[in-house]
Amino acid sequence: MLPPLLFVVILVLVPIVFIALYSVGLRSNIPGSPTSFSLADWRDFLTGGGGAFRGRFVYSIKITLFVSVVTTIAAYPLAYFLSFVARRHRYALLLLLLAPFFTSYLLRVIAWQIILNNNGVVNSLLWALHLRPRGSAVSWLIYSNFSVALVLFYTWVPFVALPIFVVLENMDHRLTEAASDLGASRSATFWKVTFPLSLPGVVAGFVFVLIPTTGEFIAPLLVGGPNNQLFGNSIQAFFGDSPDWNYGSVLALTLIVVVLVMMVVFGRFLNTDLRAGPGAGR
């Protein structure tokens, strides 16, 4: 018990403490430079001249919420199909849905780059079919909000379908039978019985995409333009090409706090409750 706990404390909690120390100026990555407690970076980010980073933060939250909502809506019919239509082969088909995830994420983003590029698959197909004059690319296809949102949507849809599917599978199917026996139409049964009962899965799926997308920075690097960079990209830049570990720590800690708040708000819907014994939460 103790070794794994210590492992997590040293490799997760201690780094967070260091991030906090950097964010208030108590440490510095430049050797020999003086360190003292200062909230200047926090003040700059929250209310001062760091408007560019605040703007990027707001943009990130907006695109994250948008992708989460669209992904959840698109995933619901997939889960419904698996649970109610594809009864016999539902686990095999679920695996089919999840299989692309097991291949490299970067490879899939690169594939999307090849598809959406200015001389990529979509554009060259349009040219070959004489639907657009050769050499004229669809402008919003790549390095746009569309391309970033599409890649994130693509990545997360199967994982939103999963918790919804689990909830639908564990639903008491006698309830829907009772509803139809009592004269409810198919749509009334769905909207008054099935859908309300599946809401915990819907919320869990929503969180499954919301939390990882909040810290995303790879998709914007490869398919986003300068205006589509996310908050994670700001953090990466401060620890990479233009180092300012103190300001970067302010942003990194902000991201941790935002995600932890989301977890506190939504966490009880997640099916990772291991406290109870076998069969719990199923």
Partner 1 sequence: MKATGRFGTLSLNLYFWAFVAFLFAPLVVLVIFSMNNNMTPTLPLSGFTTKWFHQAFSNGELTGAVARSAGIALTTAVFATALGIMASIGLMALRGRALSFAIAALLLPLVVPYISLAVGLLILLQALGTGPSLGAVVLGHAVITLPFAILVLLPRLRSLDPAMSEAAMDLGATAVGAFRLITLPLIVPALVSSGIICFVTSFDEFAIASFLAPSGKPTYPIFLYASARTPALLPDVIAIGAIVIAASLLLVAVAEGGRRWAERKLVGSGAAIENAVAEPTISLAGTQ
25 vs 158, beta carbon nearer partner 1: 158
Backbone angles phi, psi at 2, to 5 degrees: -65, -45
Of 59, 115, 110, nearest in space to 233 by CA: 59
Site for partner 1 in 51-110 (CB under 8 A): 74, 77-78, 80-82, 84-86, 91, 93-110
Segment lying near partner 1 (by CB under 8 A), choices 43-51, 64-72, 139-147, 160-168: 160-168
Region 263-282 residues binding partner 1, contact defined as CB under 8 A = 263, 271-272, 274-275, 277-278
- The interface with partner 1 within residues 116-145 (CB under 8 A) comprises 117, 119-121, 124-125, 127-128
What is the C-alpha separation between 155 and 37, in angstroms, rounded? 41
Contact flag: residue 248 with partner 1 (CB under 8 A)? yes
Determine which residue in the list 149, 202, 210, 235 makes contact with partner 1, applying CB under 8 A.
Answer: 235
Structure tokens at 103: 């291949």
- Using CB under 8 A as the binding rule, whether residue 115 contacts partner 1 is answered as yes
Helices 145-170 and 90-98 pack at an angle, to 10 degrees, of: 160
Q: Virtual CA dihedral for 71, 110, 218, 166, nearest 10 degrees?
A: 30
- Here the tokens at position 139 are 């402008």
With respect to partner 1, which residue has the nearer C-beta, 52 or 107? Answer: 107
From 203, 200, 214, select the one nearest 260 (Cα to Cα): 214
> Which tokens sit at 153?
């949507």
What amino acid is encoded at 133 in this protein? P
Select the residue interacting with partner 1 from 70, 113, 145, 146 (CB under 8 A): 113
Nearer to partner 1, 50 or 153 (CB): 153
| 214 scored as a contact of partner 1 (CB under 8 A) | yes
Q: Which of 50, 158, 201, 224 touches partner 1 by CB under 8 A?
A: 158
> Is residue 229 involved in binding partner 1 (CB under 8 A)?
no
Q: State the nearest-atom distance from the C-beta of 100 to partner 1, in Å.
A: 5
The smaller minimum CB distance to partner 1, of residues 49 and 243, is found at: 243
Q: d(Cα 121, Cα 59) in Å, to the nearest integer?
A: 29
DSSP label of 99: G
